[in-house]
Amino acid sequence: MKKLLSSVLTCAIAGSLLVAPAANATDYEEEILLRTSASVRGIYDPNTNRWICASSEDYTSLTHDSRASLLSIGRCTHPEYTVLLNTVFEHLEETIDQVDHLADKVDRLEEKIQADEREIDHLHKNLSISRNELDATKRENRKLSDALDSSEYEIDHLHKNLTISRNELDATKRENRELNTKIDQSQKKIEELKEKNLLTEDELDKVTAKLNAAEAKIKELTHKVQKLEKEVKELKERNAELQKENHDLLSKIDSLNTKNASLHKDLNASFGLNVFFGVISAIAAIIGIGHFLKPVFEKFFHRR
């Protein structure tokens, strides 16, 4: 088959036209064939440590409506070696271009990885800041909670004192009213006795002394009432202040709880981005290099 192909190729006209006798013809009839394609593929034989060439050519008949294909496999000829070498050089140039392009891609990938690493460092710093801020917020929250407990305890204590003072004030006012009533009654009786001349000077002095003592007691009770009223007023004012402080503390605690939730969310997001950037960088490196090396290996020593 190899010799047949060589003899046929020797008869080719301008390297592309072939004249052959028609099959089963009694008279000689020329058939003109046009070569439409040709290829050489090298196959390495590890047993002989040599290359084997597989040459194939396709022809179309110009005199008949037919096509023909020729295939030969054997030791490589000089022209076939030349074709293979040219193919190797072409592949080598393409490979060099691919490697250069791959090197540029790797450089860009390294720059991207460095940018991701800088971003990760930035996220680490933000993470540390957020953690410190979260710890500080928790400490502040505990302080406010302690202050709120203390304020609530003081409010309860003030409520008890306020109740006691109000009860004492009410009792003192009743006692004051009773004494005023008795004094008024006593003064009326004294006036009646004076008009009837039924009191001696000694009796009048004794009655007057008792009235003076009662009036002194009334003054004392009045002063006590005023003092208690002032104390009740101060307790009410202090109670209002504590209620406001309580409200402010609760607002601060709510704000800190909201801030805590936001910081926890930021921490989780920072951790997620940290992992994401690391995984993406690794995947990008693997996929990027594999993507550009694959066509180089596929095309080497296999070209039509």
Do 133 and 262 have their domain in common? yes
Q: Is the confidence at residue 269, as pLDDT, over 70? A: no
298 or 280: which leads in pLDDT: 280
Q: Are residues 203 and 114 in the same domain?
A: yes
* Span 246-262, average pLDDT: 77
> Could you tell me if residue 303 is inside a domain?
no
Q: Quick one: 144 and 292 in the same domain?
A: yes
Count up the domains in the chain and report the number: 2
Structural domain span for residue 246: 108-298
**Residue of 53, 52, 56 whose CA lies nearest to 71:** 56
Co-location of 254 and 116 in the same domain: yes
Domain membership flag for residue 304: no
Shared domain for 155 and 290, answered yes or no, is yes
**Is residue 11 domain-resident?**
yes
Domain with 180 in it: what CATH number?
1.10.287.2610
Q: Which of 76, 100, 131 is the last residue in one of the domains?
A: 76
Question: Do 151 and 261 lie in a common domain?
Answer: yes
Q: Is residue 101 part of a domain?
A: no
Report yes or no on 100 lying in a domain.
no
Dist. CA 249–CA 145, nearest whole Å: 8
68 and 184 in a common domain:
no
Instruction: Classify residue 181: in a domain, yes or no.
Output: yes
- Give CA separation, 3 vs 6, 71, 200, in Å: 5, 12, 176
User: 243 and 121 in one domain?
Assistant: yes
Confidence of residue 22 (pLDDT cuts 50, 70, 90): very low
Reported as a single tens digit per residue, the pLDDT across 153-186 is 878 887 788 788 788 888 888 887 887 887 777 7
Q: Do 222 and 269 lie in a common domain?
A: yes
Residue 75: pLDDT above 80? yes
Q: In terms of domains, do 140 and 233 share one? A: yes
Give yes or no: residues 54 and 116 share one domain: no
In a domain, 92, yes or no: no
Q: Exposed (0-12), middle (13-18) or buried (19+): which is 80, by Cβ within 10 Å?
A: buried
Q: Are residues 61 and 114 in the same domain?
A: no
Mean pLDDT (the chain) is: 74
Is the predicted pLDDT of residue 56 greater than 60, yes or no?
yes
Task: Specify if 82 maps to a domain.
Answer: no
- Which residue among 76, 97, 120 closes a domain? 76
